[in-house]
Structure 1
Amino acid sequence: MAQAWNCSGLRWSADSPVLLWDGGRRSVLTRGKRVAFGVEDGGVRTCVGARGHACPLGAAVPGRGTGARCEECARLDRAHSVAADSLADDPRPYRVYLAWFGPGMLKVGITAAQRGAARLLEQGAVAFTWLGTGPLMAARRTEELLRAALGVPDRIPYADKRAVRAALPATREERAAEIAALHARAVALSGWPESLDPAPFRPADHAEVFGLPRVPAAVGEVTELVAGGAVSGELVAAAGPDLHLSTARGVVVLDTRLMAGWGLVPSGGREFAVPVRALSRRAVAQDGLF
């Protein structure tokens, strides 16, 4: 029987996604590479724990959840995150950013300055610009200012991000146009924290890094992995946690967060055999910006 591996997540290097496995193994994913694995027969998806600690209950978790944590571990993980505002004394500088995922879809967020653009790659931001740098709470207040004054969200569902990837403008200039307009409106607001140092508009573009230009539109997305199932396809693009795989049925998107908590084994040559639903191509309207 093949040894099962446990995926601990997908991270981005400067130019490619990397799958991380328990025990320190790493799988660098390059376009054109075959992504193929099976899910253990009779296996159960179990909680991945929180903050580096195993789940004390070894609790089973639903196959469709992207968090792969039971309620208690999810609560503990959230309680120690920047998003929970529980790290007010964090001395590190933070950056506020504006991110663009497709036509009409923008958000504001913050990330530790030392992480560079890693957070934007992990979220699947097609284009972005920095808005300013300062202490954590100043960055938080700036984020809240934009949410209140301009109606800019700080979260966008991944299903919405996938829905607009097939309709991206062709040029970097077109992809940067909406964040340019939002940046101008943001810096014109009064009430910025004095300790936040504003940043000029300097757009960065990830479309080529993700491999999105010239890639066929995805026809479906994996809804969950199942015991005894299999995934097999050629990697043609990747954005955030999503792998776009060319399969016999067309391009299918796999959210790698669905892999966590399962015991994964070699595919053994099996074809793509996990639940897939049609991918929405609807235009996603975002209220309150323009």
Structure 2
Amino acid sequence: MSQPSTGLLATGTVWTSGSATLALAASDGTIRQQPLSLGQLVGWNLHGPRRCIGTWNGETRRQQLCPHRHPIEVDASASQCPPCQAADPGRRFARGDDLTDPRTFGLYLAWFAPGLIKVGLTAVDRGNDRLTEQAAVAFTWLAEGPLPAVRRAERLISGLGEFGESVRRDRKVSAWWHLGEPQQRIAQLRDAWHRTVPQIAGDARLTVARPRMCDLADTYGLNTRPSSPAREIGPLRVDVTLVGRISAVAGSDLILDTIAGPGLLNTRTLAGWTLTSADVRGAAAPPMRALNLVGTHEQNVPETLF
């Protein structure tokens, strides 16, 4: 099917100030945001072929669409072709190729599951957005300072072997139904803060933060134990219609309550499809398959993450 002139290209889920939206790019690269709120009924018609989303231009605040309209495998979680991946500023940042960003950066510990905590960094002016994009269930700040010093501290802490710099998606999502009580994860974070801060306190370029713990489970709808899906929504393909009510949203994952039951939707697989609004009345069941999270991980690194 050819792409309709009224359709918009899905480019991914974006978190801003504790709220998730689906970013949709018009043909000129301008972005519209569709809210992804708890309890919201959403509906999309998918039009193809699925193609590379290009790169985000932070200066113009527009999506630089892929000039080659490179096709993307329908079930891939990566939604950029190799040339756009190479040009993506966020990927260069993640590789450590660029330490020239003049902003102040914060170093944090993020909790994802009992005993599973990671260290990371983000620009201070982004607030909590980096944490919600990763689906961190709770977090605390460690320090702030210029990017080279914060990056050095991040690598020092991860090099000690207790806290890594990344967490696989399968481990994040699988933990949603075994989070325990909020006070338990806060206690784990507080203990981790007290063990970690002495390792970086001697760096004069860093300002150590006080131990302030933040829990995000309510933001995602995870404190009320969302429906536990045995299936995921997919594979997505041309002419599929997705309709469901959002019962949980964390990072790039949604749990949609559909007429076929609850299903997990990885919105990374939605990126690259052209979407039009679907009639939510009397919608057909979306494609479903057995849920298998083993080994799944996150591949996209949008510029705004940092």
Normalised-by-shorter TM-score class? 0.7 to 0.9
**Alignment of 1:230 onto 2:241:** yes
Question: May I ask how many residue pairs the two structures share in their alignment?
Answer: 279
Which amino acid is 1:45 matched to? Answer: R
Equivalent residues in 2 for 1:33-182 (5 A)? 33-40=40-47, 43-51=48-56, 52-77=63-88, 81-170=92-181, 172-182=182-192
CA shift for structure 1 position 32: 1.5
**In the aligned structure 2, how far is the partner of 1:85 from the partner of 1:123?**
19
**Residue 19 of structure 1 corresponds to which residue in structure 2?**
22
**Residue 286 of structure 1 corresponds to which residue in structure 2?**
none
> Aligned-pair RMSD on alpha carbons?
2.3
Instruction: Assess if the C-alpha contact under 8 Å between 1:80 and 1:87 holds in 2.
Output: no
More strand by share: 2
**Alignment of 1:32 onto 2:39:** yes
Which amino acid is 2:46 matched to? Answer: V
Q: Secondary structure at the match of 2:102?
A: coil
Instruction: Assess if the C-alpha contact under 8 Å between 2:243 and 2:258 holds in 1.
Output: yes
**In the aligned structure 2, how far is the partner of 1:90 from the partner of 1:281?**
36
Instruction: Assess if the C-alpha contact under 8 Å between 2:109 and 2:120 holds in 1.
Output: yes
Instruction: Assess if the C-alpha contact under 8 Å between 1:234 and 1:247 holds in 2.
Output: yes
**Residue 60 of structure 2 corresponds to which residue in structure 1?**
none
**More moved, 116-125 vs 26-35:** 26-35
The change in CA–CA distance for 1:249 and 1:175 in structure 2 (over 3 A counts) is farther
Instruction: Assess if the C-alpha contact under 8 Å between 2:260 and 2:285 holds in 1.
Output: no
The change in CA–CA distance for 1:250 and 1:139 in structure 2 (over 3 A counts) is same
**In the aligned structure 2, how far is the partner of 1:173 from the partner of 1:197?**
27
**In the aligned structure 2, how far is the partner of 1:65 from the partner of 1:187?**
39
Could you state the TM-score of these two structures normalised by the residue count of structure 1? 0.88
Identity of aligned residues (%): 31
**Residue 300 of structure 2 corresponds to which residue in structure 1?**
none
Give unmatched runs, 5+ long, in structure 1: 283-290
CA shift for structure 1 position 164: 0.7
**In the aligned structure 2, how far is the partner of 1:279 from the partner of 1:238?**
18
**Residue 186 of structure 1 corresponds to which residue in structure 2?**
196
